[in-house]
Amino acid sequence: MEENFGVLVLGHGSKLTYNKNTVEAVANMLAEKMNGAIIKTAYLNMDRPTVEEGIESFSSTDVKTLYVLPLFLAHGIHTLKDIPEILGLTDGQRRTTHSFDNRTIDVIYAEPLGIDPCIADLALKRLEEA
């Protein structure tokens, strides 16, 4: 990743506060691993900031590229339709731009967490804890 980038971690949102707390905790852990990146959170439903507000929150930063990371396990209606629509992406597109008052940044839409050995490791850990 290049310099001056940011990450907007997207959560689903919920009436239950631990959902937002979880998304924020993961974003904080990600920030610890990515020195220098500006990392913020946003939500599709019920919580704030909204995705639009989350993107706008980068207007006062020096971010040149914004990665949008859906904190979802798999693709679904939100990752395939709702989020791309908010970002202004069309079918299968992953890159776009966003203009603030004084500049334009690149926006790159990441895949959801998906299938990965670390997900299986985490599932095994949860089973062992049970």
DSSP string, 79-94: IIIIHHHHHT--TT--
User: What pLDDT, on a 0 to 100 scale, did the predictor assign at position 52?
Assistant: 97
pTM: 0.94
Give the residue carrying structure tokens 């990441």.
110
23, 9 contact by CB (below 8 A): yes
Between 18 and 2, whose confidence is greater? 18
User: What pLDDT, on a 0 to 100 scale, did the predictor assign at position 7?
Assistant: 98
Check pLDDT > 90 for residue 92: no
Q: Which residues are catalytic?
A: 12
CA-CA distance, 33 to 45, in Å (whole number)?
27
CA-CA distance, 59 to 99, in Å (whole number)?
9
- Over residues 10-36, the pLDDT tens digits come to 999 999 999 999 999 999 999 999 987
Determine the average pLDDT of the residues in 92-105: 94
Check pLDDT > 90 for residue 91: no
User: What pLDDT, on a 0 to 100 scale, did the predictor assign at position 47?
Assistant: 96
How are strands ordered across the β-sheet holding 95-99? 38-43, 5-11, 65-70, 104-109, 95-99
Q: Which two tokens stand for residue 10?
A: 């997207």
Domains, the chain, ordered by start = 5-129 (3.40.50.1400)
pLDDT band of 124, cuts 50, 70, 90: very high
11, 83 contact by CB (below 8 A): no
- Over residues 29-71, the pLDDT tens digits come to 999 999 879 999 999 999 999 999 999 999 999 999 999 999 9
